Structures are given as C-alpha cells and as structure tokens.
A = this chain, B = another copy of it.
Amino acid sequence: MIGISHETVSRGENDTLPTPVVVVGTYDKQEKPNMMTVGWVGICCSKPPCVAVSLRKATYTYSNIVERRAFTVNVPSEKYIKETDYGIASGKKVEKFSATRLTPVKSDLVDAPYVNEFPLVLECKLLHTIEIGLHTQFIGEILDAKAEEAVLEKGVPDMKKVNPILLVPETWLYYGVGTYLAEAFSIGKKI
C-alpha cells in the first residue's frame, strides 16, 4: 500500500481502457454498404477465432447485422483518422462511404463489405448476440483476415506498418501506437 492511494473515479469513468478503433462494414436491405466506427471491440476467442463488437440498438449497423448476420471489422491506418472519426456519424442520415470516398468491396466469404483502403480486415459471420444494456454485443467468427501486402512482414501484419489508431474513452482522444517495449512470454522470465 506504500505511497499508493486509489480514488474512486465513478462508474462513468469506467472506460478509460484504451481501445483500437475499428470500422464495422455492413449491407442494409437495399444492398447499400454502410460503415460505422466502433471502439467497443475486442478479440474474444482463439478457436474459432472470434471478435466482439458492441453497438447501440438505435444504430443503422445494428439492424444490418441482425438482418445479414455478417459484418467486417476494418482496422484503419492513422492516415485515415478523419474518415474514421467521420464514421461515428449516423448511417441513416449520410452515405458514409460516399462522403469519405472510401471504397466498399463485397466480401467473398460473408454478406458484408470491407473497406478497401484499410490495411487489415476481418470478415465475420455472426455467432452470438448478447443483449447487455444500452449496447448489444455481436460476436462474429472471423472466417478470414485480409491484410494489405504493404503491411506484411514475413506473412504477418507488422503493427508499425498497419499503424492503427487507439481511442481513449472518457477523454475521447485518439493516440497512435507507441514504441516497441518487449517480447511477450519472455520479459516476464526476468522476475
């Protein structure tokens, strides 16, 4: 306990956990592609590989995922920060792909479009829908991951080349990924 005092920062400040910010791609009933920027995202299983995204029921993307049972998770590079932030606006009112000039590409594997300009794309089939509260969590099985050739290093995406954007909730600020620190499953052996 020496020298450390923890203060309650209230439940509203819960989400100061940094998160990668991603764009979820879906089709609506009329085949119109939509993109929505999401911060409540995370890998949630390795076998089968799954990713979870949480959305409010009121969003356009929510209805699209319920209808199509598919979505893509697109990881933007820092150079697309404006387009990514724009993706927070509602798809019911604006054509976000047109407005941002990003290119929707129909996935061969799932009934959803991915963002062609983004370096890393996960194509997902809906597996589970969990009603939590304000947000509904969709768990998608990742049927394929696609990466832009330019970001690959020995066949694996290199994080400094992908150059993703981190969102820090509560303060609502974007950060980049910083310096390399250490290898996992390795530095802890020095304890």
Contact = CB atoms under 8 A, between A and B. Distances in A.
Contacts of A19: 20, 42-43
Interface stretch (A25-33, A63-71, A177-185): A177-185
A58 interface: no
Band of interface residues on A: 35 or more
B157 A14 contact: no
A11 B132 contact: no
A6 B106 CA distance: 13
A132 to B, nearest CB: 4
A6 to B, nearest CB: 4
A81 B45 contact: no
Interface of A: 1, 4-20, 22, 39-52, 54, 73, 75, 78, 81-89, 99-100, 103, 105, 116-117, 120-122, 127-128, 130, 132-135, 137, 139, 142-149, 152, 155-159, 162, 164-191
12 contacts: A4-B116, A10-B145, A17-B120, A18-B177, A19-B20, A42-B52, A43-B169, A44-B132, A52-B137, A166-B177, A173-B183, A175-B177
